Amino acid sequence: MKTGPKPDRRVFTAAAALAMILPGATACAEEGETWESFKTRYLQPDGRVVDNGNNGVSHTEGQGWAMLLAVANEDRETFDRVWAWTNANLARSDVRLFSWRYDPAAQPPVTDPNNATDGDIFIAWALLRAADRWRNDDYARASAEIRGAIGRGLVAQIAGRSLLLPGLEGFANAEGITYNPSYFVLPALKLFADRDPHGPWRQVIAGGLEVADLALFGQESLPSDWVFVGVDGRLAPAAGHAPRFSFDAIRAPFYLVWGGEKSRRQVQAVAAWWRKGFKDDKRPPAWIDVMTGETAPYTLSNGGAAVAAIVMNDNGVDKWKAEEPNYYSSVLQLLATVSRKDVGRRRIGL
């Protein structure tokens, strides 16, 4: 079963580990991340968001995240630049979705037309929030078109559930589907369900919540980055991927809390695992193999700690530490801030 490539999320590099030991090794790092520092480091003038942990590529999740953050920071100029670049460079001609990866070193820069559903969801969600914030019909229309394409092409019916496919191609066969729990962006899906009451969103939410409760593996009962869902309902870590609770899966309970489901089994299990690791100013390992118990030789990044603080409902663990500036860690810190405001104001998805 082909699942397609995804970005490498090793957000705590050897250089970052060295920086934790050598004072001054990260002179360019700041205490915490801000929207302005994020733009300075990772956003090009043309609106392309650069993933410095993956050889300077861009991907739809990064573009969508930046659009969402621009709305949250009342930065319409940046929102328009990021959206214009995304639409011009990643939009597919055959369906209102987006090719997942842009590599400036490749010719052409887009070599794989397949989409990534989480990127499409974030782009549509950001456009909808922007339409509400700035009263713009063009944003609303584009969001509706993308939501329609997601609903028509990326919802699979399997074992009595409606589940999101990670992409149009390569994630389903006669035996079942490959599913990514971190693509279940609950606050976005709840807003989609509110705006599109006749769409598939309520069924997708119900199916995704069931899988969130059931797809927990190993002694620690943790989600894996990729999950196989069989036509018979069987759930297991997906073949072809390391069976880890890792850089994708840490977003899964975070999105559940953001979407108002903090009492879910997945959230409680992940919070319990992380709680054991946050002791004496230490952090948990960045990943754990859910089958063997093997753990990463490095700890959660600042962004991982920010997400963990939301999931654990414990802001005391969200303490900045010196690390090499990294796109993924930075964006997680900023998303955690937006989610905290959303939940605190009881404005999920708005």
> pTM, whole model, 2 decimals?
0.92
Q: Is 61 a catalytic residue?
A: yes
Distance CA 97, CA 151 (A): 11
Number of domains in the chain: 1
CATH number of the domain within which 244 lies: 1.50.10.10
Asked, for residue 294, whether it belongs to a domain, the answer is yes
Residues 245-257 pLDDT 10s:
999 999 999 999 9
Is residue 156 domain-resident?
A: yes
For residue 15, what pLDDT is reported? 35
Q: Which of 33, 118, 225, 318 is catalytic?
A: 118
User: Is there a domain that residue 129 lies in?
Assistant: yes
235-237/227-230 β-pairing? antiparallel
pLDDT in tens, 74-107: 999 999 999 999 999 999 999 999 999 999 999 9
> Residue 23: how many CA atoms within 13 Å on its side-chain side?
0
Q: What is the pLDDT of residue 237?
A: 98
What single DSSP character describes residue 171?
S
Catalytic hit among 61, 318, 324, 342 = 61
Residue 4 lies in a domain: no
When computed from its CA atoms, the radius of gyration of the chain, rounded to whole angstroms, is: 19
**What is the residue range of 106's domain?**
14-344
Which residues, other chains included, contact 37 with Cβ-Cβ below 8 Å and sequence gap of 6+?
Answer: 30, 330
Is 33 considered catalytic here? Answer: no
pLDDT grade for 29, boundaries at 50, 70 and 90? very low
- 3 state SS of 136: coil
